[in-house]
Amino acid sequence: MRRLYASLRSVAESLLAAVVGFAVAGIILKAWGYSPISAYISLFKASFTDLYGFSGALANATPLILTALTFAMAARAGLFNIGAEGQMYLGALAAVAASAFKLPAGLHLLVALVFAAVAGILWSLIPAVLRATRGVSEVISTIMFNWISRYLAFWLVANVLVDPYRAEKTITALPTSRFPTLVRGTDLSYALFLAVAAAAVIYFLLWHTVTGYEMRAAGENPFAARYGGVKSGKVIILVFLLGGITAGLAGATQSLGRPPTYAVYSGLPQISNLGFDGIGVAMIGRNHPLGIIFAAIFYGGLQSGARVMQLFAGIPLEMVRVVQGVIVLALALPELLRIFRIFRRRKLEVKREEG
């Protein structure tokens, strides 16, 4: 009963935050001489009532579900894993690198996904070990590793995986290693089901296993968890490794599941910032795996409808970004405040322990 009440309260808070966000964004639009009604009609009509637009929203949501899971798992364990961006870069490249092998369809895709997951794990391992053994802030280490990964990815695109006929991109992933297209004429692929399945697995792990209980206990009250026999180092390593898997798979969904490219381009245009956007999606979804699915679809719809707002409502791109930012910030605020309350309580407990 308590869990049901908490879920209903979270939904009510999110709905109220959405109303506030759209109202504030509407006031900003009106103040600059644009019609909020026309803007919102264009946005939702293009994103959620049209098959092509909704397919675009789902395609945008696919990698965001996975990068949001990376952040959400860490947040539930009391950690801030900002490293999904860098892990995703290497996951995307590792998935393309699997095309160096010629394998049957299906098996080849599976091998490419394993490559992506392993790349994500390896890139998350060092920050995890530093945090677990030396107490190094995971925020600092993962941000640093994001930059290292970015420039390493630039080098790999230009020197190792480069297409001999087109120097601006990697080799093209073989057809046997690609996700099939789900809706013809769109860039929505079966990678969507991978993302949803990952969210379901993480939900089951967090709420229906002893390991998941230990992860959540470590985040809610680390001192009580320690007294209860929970090993913090084990939790940290596990959270980072699982996050590396989801982030690496997010990269694979972009390099293997977004036609017509099926490659990684110099500058990483199709994967840049998806790791950071995943943090916002996780906040909107209240760091809950099932909530993240709906939050990612909503966020993907905002992205999909942005072009239509420019074309039919006459709103410039800069103002569209402002509107998106205000709405996302309003929706993320309740979860952000919850996390701040937890960390403030933890700080008070630290002082009490030291006193």
pLDDT in tens, 206-225: 999 999 999 998 887 777 77
Rounded Cα distance, 201 and 196, in Å? 9
In tens, the pLDDT along 335-350 reads: 888 888 877 777 776 6
Per-residue pLDDT band at 49 (split at 50, 70, 90): confident
| Overall average pLDDT of the 35-63 stretch | 88
Q: What are phi and psi of 112, to 5 degrees?
A: -65, -40
pLDDT tens track for 171-211: 999 999 999 999 988 899 999 999 999 999 999 999 999 99
What is the per-residue pLDDT across 231-253, written as a single tens digit (0 to 9) for each?
A: 889 999 999 999 999 999 999 99
The pTM of the full predicted model, rounded to 2 decimals, is 0.93
pLDDT at 354 over 70: no
Q: Distance between CA atoms of 331 and 18, rounded to whole angstroms?
A: 6
CA distance 22 to 45: 16
Instruction: Give the structural domain span for 113.
Output: 2-354
Does 138 score more than 90 pLDDT? yes
Q: How far apart are CA 260 and CA 257, in angstroms?
A: 9
Query: What is the overall mean pLDDT for the chain?
Result: 90
Q: How far apart are CA 139 and CA 131, in angstroms?
A: 10
Mean pLDDT of 260-281: 92
For residue 183, is it left (φ>0), alpha (ψ between -120 and 50) or beta? beta
Domain of 302, CATH number, reads: 1.10.3470
Count of domains observed in the chain: 1
183 or 309, higher pLDDT: 183
Q: Residues with Cβ < 8 Å from 155, sequence gap 6 or more?
A: none
Q: H or E segment at 82?
A: none
CA distance 278 to 263: 22
